[in-house]
Structure 1
Amino acid sequence: MIDILAPVIALDGPSASGKGTVAARVAAALEFHYLDSGALYRLTALAAVRRGVLFDDVEGLTEVARALDASFVEGVILLDGEEATEAIRSEAIGEGASRVAALAPVRDALLARQRAFQRLPGLVADGRDMGSVVFPQAQLKVFLTATAEVRAERRHKQLIAKGEDVTIQKILEDIQQRDARDSARTVAPLVQLPDARLLDTSAMTIDQAVRTVLGWWETVQSSRP
Protein backbone atom coordinates (compact mmCIF):
# COMPACT_ATOMS: atom_id res chain seq x y z
CA MET A 1 0.00 0.00 0.00
CA ILE A 2 1.25 3.47 -0.88
CA ASP A 3 1.85 5.74 2.09
CA ILE A 4 0.03 8.86 0.90
CA LEU A 5 1.89 10.92 3.50
CA ALA A 6 5.30 10.22 1.99
CA PRO A 7 6.41 13.12 -0.23
CA VAL A 8 7.82 12.41 -3.68
CA ILE A 9 10.35 14.23 -5.85
CA ALA A 10 10.08 12.94 -9.44
CA LEU A 11 13.00 13.44 -11.82
CA ASP A 12 12.35 12.53 -15.44
CA GLY A 13 14.56 12.99 -18.44
CA PRO A 14 16.28 11.40 -21.43
CA SER A 15 18.99 8.76 -21.43
CA ALA A 16 22.43 9.74 -20.07
CA SER A 17 21.18 13.09 -18.75
CA GLY A 18 22.67 12.47 -15.31
CA LYS A 19 19.31 12.31 -13.57
CA GLY A 20 20.23 9.09 -11.76
CA THR A 21 23.30 10.63 -10.14
CA VAL A 22 21.42 13.81 -9.26
CA ALA A 23 18.45 11.88 -7.87
CA ALA A 24 20.65 9.62 -5.74
CA ARG A 25 22.51 12.60 -4.25
CA VAL A 26 19.30 14.52 -3.56
CA ALA A 27 17.87 11.44 -1.84
CA ALA A 28 21.01 11.10 0.27
CA ALA A 29 20.95 14.78 1.23
CA LEU A 30 17.31 14.57 2.33
CA GLU A 31 17.67 11.04 3.75
CA PHE A 32 14.84 9.94 1.44
CA HIS A 33 14.41 6.57 -0.25
CA TYR A 34 15.62 6.37 -3.86
CA LEU A 35 14.07 4.63 -6.86
CA ASP A 36 16.09 4.09 -10.02
CA SER A 37 13.18 3.02 -12.21
CA GLY A 38 15.44 2.55 -15.21
CA ALA A 39 17.24 -0.20 -13.33
CA LEU A 40 14.02 -2.22 -13.24
CA TYR A 41 13.71 -2.07 -17.02
CA ARG A 42 17.39 -2.87 -17.43
CA LEU A 43 16.98 -5.83 -15.06
CA THR A 44 14.01 -7.00 -17.11
CA ALA A 45 16.11 -6.78 -20.27
CA LEU A 46 19.02 -8.63 -18.64
CA ALA A 47 16.72 -11.34 -17.27
CA ALA A 48 15.17 -11.73 -20.73
CA VAL A 49 18.58 -12.14 -22.35
CA ARG A 50 19.58 -14.76 -19.78
CA ARG A 51 16.34 -16.66 -20.35
CA GLY A 52 16.56 -16.45 -24.12
CA VAL A 53 13.46 -14.26 -24.43
CA LEU A 54 13.55 -12.03 -27.51
CA PHE A 55 12.82 -8.32 -27.27
CA ASP A 56 9.87 -8.66 -29.67
CA ASP A 57 8.23 -11.37 -27.54
CA VAL A 58 5.71 -9.21 -25.64
CA GLU A 59 4.12 -12.09 -23.72
CA GLY A 60 7.49 -13.55 -22.77
CA LEU A 61 8.86 -10.18 -21.63
CA THR A 62 5.74 -9.51 -19.58
CA GLU A 63 6.18 -12.80 -17.76
CA VAL A 64 9.83 -11.95 -17.11
CA ALA A 65 8.77 -8.58 -15.62
CA ARG A 66 6.09 -10.15 -13.43
CA ALA A 67 8.48 -12.74 -12.03
CA LEU A 68 11.46 -10.39 -11.74
CA ASP A 69 13.51 -11.37 -8.69
CA ALA A 70 15.31 -8.09 -8.12
CA SER A 71 16.43 -6.25 -5.01
CA PHE A 72 18.43 -3.15 -4.12
CA VAL A 73 20.72 -3.50 -1.11
CA GLU A 74 22.98 -0.60 -0.07
CA GLY A 75 23.76 0.46 -3.61
CA VAL A 76 24.10 -3.10 -4.92
CA ILE A 77 21.56 -4.40 -7.47
CA LEU A 78 20.72 -8.09 -7.31
CA LEU A 79 19.02 -10.24 -9.94
CA ASP A 80 18.04 -13.74 -8.89
CA GLY A 81 20.25 -13.29 -5.84
CA GLU A 82 23.35 -12.43 -7.91
CA GLU A 83 24.94 -9.00 -8.25
CA ALA A 84 23.98 -7.30 -11.49
CA THR A 85 25.03 -3.72 -10.74
CA GLU A 86 27.54 -3.52 -13.60
CA ALA A 87 25.87 -6.03 -15.93
CA ILE A 88 22.79 -3.84 -16.40
CA ARG A 89 24.88 -0.78 -17.33
CA SER A 90 26.19 -2.12 -20.63
CA GLU A 91 25.12 -0.36 -23.83
CA ALA A 92 23.46 -3.54 -25.12
CA ILE A 93 21.28 -3.90 -22.03
CA GLY A 94 20.50 -0.18 -22.09
CA GLU A 95 19.29 -0.54 -25.67
CA GLY A 96 17.24 -3.58 -24.69
CA ALA A 97 15.74 -1.72 -21.74
CA SER A 98 14.58 1.08 -24.04
CA ARG A 99 12.77 -1.46 -26.22
CA VAL A 100 11.31 -3.30 -23.24
CA ALA A 101 10.08 -0.04 -21.69
CA ALA A 102 8.00 0.74 -24.79
CA LEU A 103 5.72 -2.24 -24.07
CA ALA A 104 2.53 -1.43 -22.14
CA PRO A 105 2.14 -4.90 -20.53
CA VAL A 106 5.70 -4.72 -19.19
CA ARG A 107 5.17 -1.23 -17.78
CA ASP A 108 1.93 -2.40 -16.13
CA ALA A 109 3.74 -5.37 -14.59
CA LEU A 110 6.35 -3.10 -13.00
CA LEU A 111 4.03 -0.28 -11.90
CA ALA A 112 3.10 -1.64 -8.45
CA ARG A 113 6.72 -2.53 -7.75
CA GLN A 114 7.75 1.06 -8.42
CA ARG A 115 4.98 2.59 -6.33
CA ALA A 116 5.94 0.39 -3.39
CA PHE A 117 9.07 2.54 -2.99
CA GLN A 118 6.94 5.45 -1.75
CA ARG A 119 7.60 5.28 1.97
CA LEU A 120 8.32 7.77 4.73
CA PRO A 121 10.24 9.98 5.16
CA GLY A 122 10.02 10.47 1.38
CA LEU A 123 11.13 9.29 -2.05
CA VAL A 124 13.24 10.61 -4.90
CA ALA A 125 12.41 8.71 -8.09
CA ASP A 126 14.06 9.03 -11.47
CA GLY A 127 12.99 7.69 -14.84
CA ARG A 128 10.97 8.61 -17.92
CA ASP A 129 7.42 8.69 -16.50
CA MET A 130 7.82 9.18 -12.76
CA GLY A 131 5.86 12.42 -12.70
CA SER A 132 3.37 11.58 -15.44
CA VAL A 133 2.35 8.00 -14.63
CA VAL A 134 3.95 6.44 -11.57
CA PHE A 135 3.77 9.37 -9.13
CA PRO A 136 1.47 12.00 -10.70
CA GLN A 137 0.89 13.43 -7.22
CA ALA A 138 4.61 14.19 -6.70
CA GLN A 139 5.15 17.45 -4.81
CA LEU A 140 8.12 18.36 -7.03
CA LYS A 141 8.51 17.33 -10.65
CA VAL A 142 11.75 17.99 -12.50
CA PHE A 143 12.55 17.40 -16.16
CA LEU A 144 16.33 17.04 -16.22
CA THR A 145 18.04 17.12 -19.57
CA ALA A 146 21.14 18.14 -21.53
CA THR A 147 22.00 18.34 -25.19
CA ALA A 148 22.53 15.02 -26.97
CA GLU A 149 26.15 15.99 -27.64
CA VAL A 150 26.88 16.69 -23.97
CA ARG A 151 25.17 13.46 -22.92
CA ALA A 152 27.20 11.49 -25.46
CA GLU A 153 30.40 13.06 -24.15
CA ARG A 154 29.57 12.15 -20.56
CA ARG A 155 28.59 8.60 -21.48
CA HIS A 156 31.76 8.19 -23.54
CA LYS A 157 33.93 9.14 -20.56
CA GLN A 158 32.09 6.62 -18.36
CA LEU A 159 32.56 3.78 -20.84
CA ILE A 160 36.21 4.60 -21.51
CA ALA A 161 36.83 4.57 -17.74
CA LYS A 162 35.33 1.07 -17.68
CA GLY A 163 37.68 -0.05 -20.44
CA GLU A 164 35.04 -0.28 -23.17
CA ASP A 165 36.10 0.54 -26.73
CA VAL A 166 33.33 2.67 -28.23
CA THR A 167 33.30 5.81 -30.35
CA ILE A 168 31.55 8.98 -29.26
CA GLN A 169 29.75 9.10 -32.65
CA LYS A 170 28.20 5.67 -32.03
CA ILE A 171 27.09 6.73 -28.55
CA LEU A 172 25.56 9.93 -29.97
CA GLU A 173 23.63 7.96 -32.56
CA ASP A 174 22.36 5.54 -29.91
CA ILE A 175 21.25 8.41 -27.66
CA GLN A 176 19.42 10.13 -30.51
CA GLN A 177 17.67 6.88 -31.41
CA ARG A 178 16.63 6.29 -27.79
CA ASP A 179 15.37 9.86 -27.48
CA ALA A 180 13.23 9.41 -30.59
CA ARG A 181 11.88 6.05 -29.40
CA ASP A 182 11.18 7.23 -25.84
CA SER A 183 9.44 10.40 -27.01
CA ALA A 184 7.39 8.77 -29.79
CA ARG A 185 6.11 5.70 -27.96
CA THR A 186 2.38 5.61 -27.35
CA VAL A 187 2.71 4.33 -23.77
CA ALA A 188 4.10 6.78 -21.18
CA PRO A 189 6.17 8.82 -23.66
CA LEU A 190 9.06 10.96 -22.45
CA VAL A 191 7.66 14.49 -22.16
CA GLN A 192 8.15 17.54 -20.00
CA LEU A 193 4.93 17.99 -18.04
CA PRO A 194 3.44 21.48 -17.70
CA ASP A 195 3.98 21.31 -13.92
CA ALA A 196 7.58 20.05 -14.16
CA ARG A 197 10.53 22.40 -13.72
CA LEU A 198 13.09 22.27 -16.52
CA LEU A 199 16.69 21.64 -15.47
CA ASP A 200 19.16 21.78 -18.36
CA THR A 201 22.51 20.53 -17.05
CA SER A 202 24.47 21.01 -20.29
CA ALA A 203 26.65 23.67 -18.66
CA MET A 204 26.26 22.54 -15.04
CA THR A 205 28.21 20.30 -12.70
CA ILE A 206 26.49 17.53 -10.76
CA ASP A 207 26.86 19.57 -7.55
CA GLN A 208 25.16 22.56 -9.16
CA ALA A 209 22.30 20.41 -10.40
CA VAL A 210 21.85 18.83 -6.96
CA ARG A 211 21.83 22.25 -5.27
CA THR A 212 19.22 23.47 -7.76
CA VAL A 213 16.86 20.58 -7.03
CA LEU A 214 17.35 20.93 -3.28
CA GLY A 215 16.64 24.64 -3.58
CA TRP A 216 13.42 23.95 -5.47
CA TRP A 217 12.43 21.43 -2.80
CA GLU A 218 12.97 24.02 -0.07
CA THR A 219 10.74 26.41 -2.01
CA VAL A 220 8.03 23.78 -2.35
CA GLN A 221 8.20 22.99 1.36
CA SER A 222 8.12 26.62 2.43
CA SER A 223 5.07 27.32 0.26
CA ARG A 224 3.00 24.53 1.82
CA PRO A 225 0.32 25.68 4.28
Structure 2
Amino acid sequence: MIIAIDGPAASGKGTISKRLAKHFDLPHMDTGLLYRAVGFAMRDDLDHPNWEEKAVTTAQTLELSHYHEDDLTTAEAGIAASKVARVPEVRAALQTAQKHFAHQKGGAILDGRDIGTRICPDADVKLYITADAHARAQRRTKQLNDRGVDVTFDEILAQIEKRDADDRDNPAGAFYVAPDAHLLDTTKLSIETAFQAALELVNSVLAQKKNTP
Protein backbone atom coordinates (compact mmCIF):
# COMPACT_ATOMS: atom_id res chain seq x y z
CA MET A 1 0.00 0.00 0.00
CA ILE A 2 1.32 3.42 -0.97
CA ILE A 3 -0.05 6.56 0.67
CA ALA A 4 0.94 9.88 -0.92
CA ILE A 5 0.62 13.01 1.20
CA ASP A 6 1.24 16.48 -0.20
CA GLY A 7 0.90 20.00 1.14
CA PRO A 8 2.71 23.25 1.89
CA ALA A 9 5.21 23.86 4.69
CA ALA A 10 3.89 23.60 8.28
CA SER A 11 0.48 22.35 7.16
CA GLY A 12 0.81 19.33 9.42
CA LYS A 13 1.52 16.81 6.67
CA GLY A 14 4.74 15.59 8.31
CA THR A 15 3.15 14.91 11.69
CA ILE A 16 0.12 13.26 10.09
CA SER A 17 2.33 11.13 7.84
CA LYS A 18 4.41 9.87 10.75
CA ARG A 19 1.28 9.01 12.73
CA LEU A 20 -0.24 7.18 9.78
CA ALA A 21 3.01 5.31 9.16
CA LYS A 22 3.02 4.13 12.76
CA HIS A 23 -0.67 3.19 12.61
CA PHE A 24 -0.30 1.12 9.42
CA ASP A 25 3.23 -0.09 10.24
CA LEU A 26 4.65 1.33 7.02
CA PRO A 27 8.03 2.97 6.37
CA HIS A 28 7.85 6.75 6.03
CA MET A 29 9.86 9.27 4.04
CA ASP A 30 9.72 13.03 4.47
CA THR A 31 10.81 13.86 0.93
CA GLY A 32 11.10 17.56 1.74
CA LEU A 33 14.13 16.75 3.89
CA LEU A 34 15.93 15.54 0.77
CA TYR A 35 15.54 18.93 -0.90
CA ARG A 36 16.27 20.72 2.36
CA ALA A 37 19.48 18.71 2.79
CA VAL A 38 20.66 19.71 -0.68
CA GLY A 39 19.68 23.32 0.02
CA PHE A 40 21.41 23.28 3.41
CA ALA A 41 24.58 21.86 1.87
CA MET A 42 24.46 24.56 -0.81
CA ARG A 43 23.53 27.44 1.48
CA ASP A 44 26.89 29.24 1.07
CA ASP A 45 27.18 28.57 -2.65
CA LEU A 46 23.81 29.61 -4.09
CA ASP A 47 25.22 32.90 -5.41
CA HIS A 48 28.15 31.28 -7.21
CA PRO A 49 28.05 31.09 -11.02
CA ASN A 50 28.25 27.27 -11.11
CA TRP A 51 25.96 26.57 -8.17
CA GLU A 52 23.51 24.49 -10.19
CA GLU A 53 26.21 22.02 -11.24
CA LYS A 54 27.32 21.62 -7.63
CA ALA A 55 23.70 21.19 -6.49
CA VAL A 56 23.21 18.33 -8.95
CA THR A 57 26.34 16.59 -7.68
CA THR A 58 25.15 17.09 -4.10
CA ALA A 59 21.75 15.57 -4.91
CA GLN A 60 23.29 12.60 -6.72
CA THR A 61 25.58 11.77 -3.78
CA LEU A 62 23.23 12.78 -0.95
CA GLU A 63 23.45 10.90 2.36
CA LEU A 64 20.56 12.20 4.46
CA SER A 65 21.99 10.62 7.62
CA HIS A 66 24.84 13.15 7.48
CA TYR A 67 22.46 16.00 8.35
CA HIS A 68 20.69 16.88 11.59
CA GLU A 69 16.94 17.37 11.24
CA ASP A 70 17.01 20.56 13.32
CA ASP A 71 19.25 22.17 10.69
CA LEU A 72 17.00 21.01 7.87
CA THR A 73 13.74 22.33 9.33
CA THR A 74 14.81 25.97 9.60
CA ALA A 75 13.12 28.57 7.42
CA GLU A 76 16.45 29.31 5.73
CA ALA A 77 16.82 25.67 4.70
CA GLY A 78 13.30 25.80 3.29
CA ILE A 79 14.08 28.82 1.14
CA ALA A 80 17.29 27.19 -0.10
CA ALA A 81 15.35 23.99 -0.82
CA SER A 82 12.88 25.86 -3.02
CA LYS A 83 15.79 27.25 -5.05
CA VAL A 84 17.62 23.96 -5.64
CA ALA A 85 14.27 22.28 -6.39
CA ARG A 86 14.01 24.44 -9.51
CA VAL A 87 16.92 22.54 -11.07
CA PRO A 88 15.49 19.65 -13.13
CA GLU A 89 18.58 17.46 -12.65
CA VAL A 90 18.34 17.87 -8.87
CA ARG A 91 14.71 16.81 -8.95
CA ALA A 92 15.50 13.86 -11.19
CA ALA A 93 18.17 12.57 -8.82
CA LEU A 94 15.97 12.89 -5.74
CA GLN A 95 12.87 11.55 -7.48
CA THR A 96 14.68 8.31 -8.30
CA ALA A 97 15.40 7.76 -4.60
CA GLN A 98 11.79 8.56 -3.69
CA LYS A 99 10.32 6.15 -6.23
CA HIS A 100 12.55 3.33 -5.05
CA PHE A 101 11.47 3.98 -1.48
CA ALA A 102 7.79 4.10 -2.39
CA HIS A 103 7.82 0.84 -4.32
CA GLN A 104 9.58 -1.29 -1.76
CA LYS A 105 7.85 -4.51 -0.74
CA GLY A 106 4.79 -3.75 1.38
CA GLY A 107 4.60 -0.14 0.31
CA ALA A 108 5.30 3.10 2.14
CA ILE A 109 4.05 6.54 3.11
CA LEU A 110 5.71 9.56 1.55
CA ASP A 111 4.99 13.21 2.19
CA GLY A 112 6.11 16.16 0.13
CA ARG A 113 4.92 18.45 -2.62
CA ASP A 114 4.65 16.27 -5.71
CA ILE A 115 4.11 12.76 -4.33
CA GLY A 116 0.59 12.28 -5.64
CA THR A 117 1.22 14.17 -8.87
CA ARG A 118 4.64 12.92 -9.96
CA ILE A 119 6.33 10.44 -7.61
CA CYS A 120 3.40 8.09 -6.98
CA PRO A 121 0.59 9.04 -9.39
CA ASP A 122 -0.93 5.58 -8.87
CA ALA A 123 -0.81 5.67 -5.05
CA ASP A 124 -3.57 3.77 -3.27
CA VAL A 125 -4.49 6.85 -1.26
CA LYS A 126 -3.67 10.51 -1.87
CA LEU A 127 -4.12 13.25 0.71
CA TYR A 128 -3.50 16.95 0.32
CA ILE A 129 -2.97 18.61 3.71
CA THR A 130 -3.28 22.38 3.82
CA ALA A 131 -3.78 25.31 6.21
CA ASP A 132 -3.81 29.07 5.78
CA ALA A 133 -0.45 30.86 5.79
CA HIS A 134 -1.02 32.60 9.13
CA ALA A 135 -1.77 29.33 10.93
CA ARG A 136 1.27 27.71 9.38
CA ALA A 137 3.49 30.65 10.34
CA GLN A 138 2.26 30.48 13.92
CA ARG A 139 3.08 26.77 14.10
CA ARG A 140 6.54 27.13 12.60
CA THR A 141 7.36 30.17 14.77
CA LYS A 142 6.42 28.26 17.92
CA GLN A 143 8.36 25.20 16.76
CA LEU A 144 11.51 27.25 16.23
CA ASN A 145 11.09 29.35 19.37
CA ASP A 146 10.69 26.17 21.41
CA ARG A 147 14.07 25.07 20.07
CA GLY A 148 15.60 28.33 21.20
CA VAL A 149 15.71 29.88 17.72
CA ASP A 150 14.98 33.61 17.90
CA VAL A 151 12.52 34.30 15.09
CA THR A 152 9.39 36.42 14.83
CA PHE A 153 5.98 35.58 13.41
CA ASP A 154 6.26 38.28 10.72
CA GLU A 155 9.64 36.94 9.63
CA ILE A 156 8.37 33.36 9.34
CA LEU A 157 5.14 34.42 7.62
CA ALA A 158 7.14 36.25 4.95
CA GLN A 159 9.36 33.20 4.45
CA ILE A 160 6.38 30.84 4.20
CA GLU A 161 4.62 33.10 1.69
CA LYS A 162 7.82 33.27 -0.38
CA ARG A 163 8.22 29.49 -0.24
CA ASP A 164 4.60 29.04 -1.34
CA ALA A 165 5.15 31.39 -4.28
CA ASP A 166 8.41 29.70 -5.25
CA ASP A 167 6.77 26.27 -5.15
CA ARG A 168 3.80 27.39 -7.25
CA ASP A 169 6.03 29.04 -9.85
CA ASN A 170 8.62 26.26 -10.02
CA PRO A 171 8.75 25.25 -13.71
CA ALA A 172 10.31 21.90 -12.76
CA GLY A 173 7.76 21.11 -10.06
CA ALA A 174 4.35 19.53 -9.85
CA PHE A 175 2.99 21.19 -6.72
CA TYR A 176 -0.77 21.14 -7.07
CA VAL A 177 -3.68 19.11 -5.75
CA ALA A 178 -3.92 15.83 -7.66
CA PRO A 179 -7.42 15.34 -9.15
CA ASP A 180 -7.96 12.22 -7.03
CA ALA A 181 -6.46 13.61 -3.81
CA HIS A 182 -8.58 14.12 -0.70
CA LEU A 183 -8.26 17.61 0.77
CA LEU A 184 -7.82 18.14 4.52
CA ASP A 185 -7.62 21.69 5.90
CA THR A 186 -5.94 21.68 9.33
CA THR A 187 -6.14 25.42 9.97
CA LYS A 188 -8.48 25.03 12.95
CA LEU A 189 -7.64 21.44 13.89
CA SER A 190 -5.52 20.14 16.74
CA ILE A 191 -2.83 17.59 15.93
CA GLU A 192 -4.97 14.73 17.24
CA THR A 193 -8.09 15.88 15.42
CA ALA A 194 -6.15 16.31 12.18
CA PHE A 195 -4.68 12.82 12.48
CA GLN A 196 -8.07 11.25 13.15
CA ALA A 197 -9.55 13.07 10.17
CA ALA A 198 -6.71 11.85 7.95
CA LEU A 199 -7.10 8.30 9.24
CA GLU A 200 -10.82 8.36 8.48
CA LEU A 201 -10.09 9.52 4.93
CA VAL A 202 -7.53 6.77 4.37
CA ASN A 203 -9.80 4.07 5.80
CA SER A 204 -12.72 5.34 3.74
CA VAL A 205 -10.73 5.22 0.50
CA LEU A 206 -9.39 1.75 1.26
CA ALA A 207 -12.85 0.44 2.14
CA GLN A 208 -14.30 1.90 -1.05
CA LYS A 209 -11.58 0.28 -3.17
CA LYS A 210 -12.06 -3.04 -1.40
CA ASN A 211 -15.79 -2.99 -2.19
CA THR A 212 -15.32 -1.92 -5.80
CA PRO A 213 -15.41 -4.86 -8.21
Is the contact made by 1:42 and 1:93 (CA closer than 8 Å) also made in structure 2?
yes
Q: 1:55 to 1:106 in 2, by over 3 A?
A: farther
In terms of fraction of residues, the more helix-rich structure is: 2
TM-score normalised by L of structure 1: 0.87
In terms of fraction of residues, the more strand-rich structure is: 1
Over aligned residue pairs, what C-alpha RMSD do you find?
1.5
Distance 1:85 1:177 in 2: 22
Q: How does 1:1-225 map to 2 (within 5 A)?
A: 7-49=1-43, 53-54=45-46, 57-70=51-64, 78-79=65-66, 83-118=67-102, 119-223=104-208, 224=210, 225=213
TM-score normalised by L of structure 2: 0.92
| Comparing 20-29 and 180-189, the one that deviates more | 180-189
Identity %: 37
Compute the displacement of 1:128 (Å).
Answer: 0.3
SS of residue matched to 1:117: helix
Distance 1:193 1:85 in 2: 28
Superimposed CA distance per residue, residues 17-53 of structure 1 (whole angstroms, 9 cap, x where no aligned partner): 111111011101110110100011111122224xx53
Q: After the TM superposition, which segments of 4 or more aligned residues of structure 1 sit over 4 Å from their partners?
A: none
Is the contact made by 1:55 and 1:100 (CA closer than 8 Å) also made in structure 2?
no
Report how many residues are paired: 207
SS of residue matched to 2:148: coil
Distance 2:134 2:21 in 1: 27
Structure 1 unaligned segments of length 5 or more: list them: 1-6, 71-77
Distance 2:145 2:162 in 1: 21
Superimposed CA distance per residue, residues 73-97 of structure 1 (whole angstroms, 9 cap, x where no aligned partner): xxxxx21xxx512221222212111
Compute the displacement of 1:122 (Å).
Answer: 2.6
Structure 2 unaligned segments of length 5 or more: list them: none
